[in-house]
Amino acid sequence: MRKDNNFCVKAVIFDMDGVITNTMPYHFNAWKEALAKRGIWVSCYDVYKREGQPGKETVKEIFSEHSRFLDRDEQKDILREKEGIFNAKVRTKFVKGSRPFLKNLKNRGFRIAIVTGTSRKEVRKILPKEIYNLFDTVVTSDEVKNGKPNPEPFLRGIKNLGVSKKEAIVIENAPFGVLAAKKAGLCCIAVETSLPKRFLKGADLVFKSIADLQKNVSFNLVEG
């Protein structure tokens, strides 16, 4: 339930890359390197605007935009290379303010969740155990049939949390994540950690940073 910028909820659902962890540059560089081997050059916007969707869809769309044919074997090779590059280079870096924000919500009794297009193996590698264990549920790409912008990941998230749509709010940083949350019937706040506001128009509110969000939004716990 929302009144102005005051939210009365039981749960807060977070995307991971770009909201909790500052890992999107690693994803971009991995995509850039894997695609460059095929003569395809991408900008960070080409990657960031597709954050959250299944990798196979990202490859298909980028090849289509470059009028290039893509067969299934090459698609698999690119995805395997991209993941290999990412896993070799990724380092755990957090979005400024994300850890204190998570701990504050948890200490106040909110249920918190991650809903991400990243695999569970990668989530486990990136998040320190003490941060991973804060979450009441973690929904990854391994557990869903349809990734963002399909609402399935967020619907699974609220089911796992045991809350209604009105009792949860989503914090995202990518267009497909915002779209998935809205399709799921959830209120969504976006932060401009990866993309500027013009890419995040579907969100209910948009803020520059986690600090800006906390300054302007109040979260009030609904008991019961």
d(CA 215, CA 130): 26
Q: Which residue has the tokens 């990518």?
A: 174
Phi, psi of 125 (to 5 degrees): -70, -40
- pLDDT tens column, 30-85: 999 999 999 999 999 999 999 988 899 999 999 999 999 999 999 999 999 999 99
- pLDDT tens column, 92-128: 999 999 999 999 999 999 999 999 999 999 999 999 9
Number of Cα atoms under 13 Å in the Cβ half of residue 21:
23
Domains of the chain: 2-22+92-221 (3.40.50.1000), 24-89 (1.10.150.240)
d(CA 23, CA 21): 5
Sorting pLDDT into bands at 50, 70 and 90, what band is 223?
Answer: confident
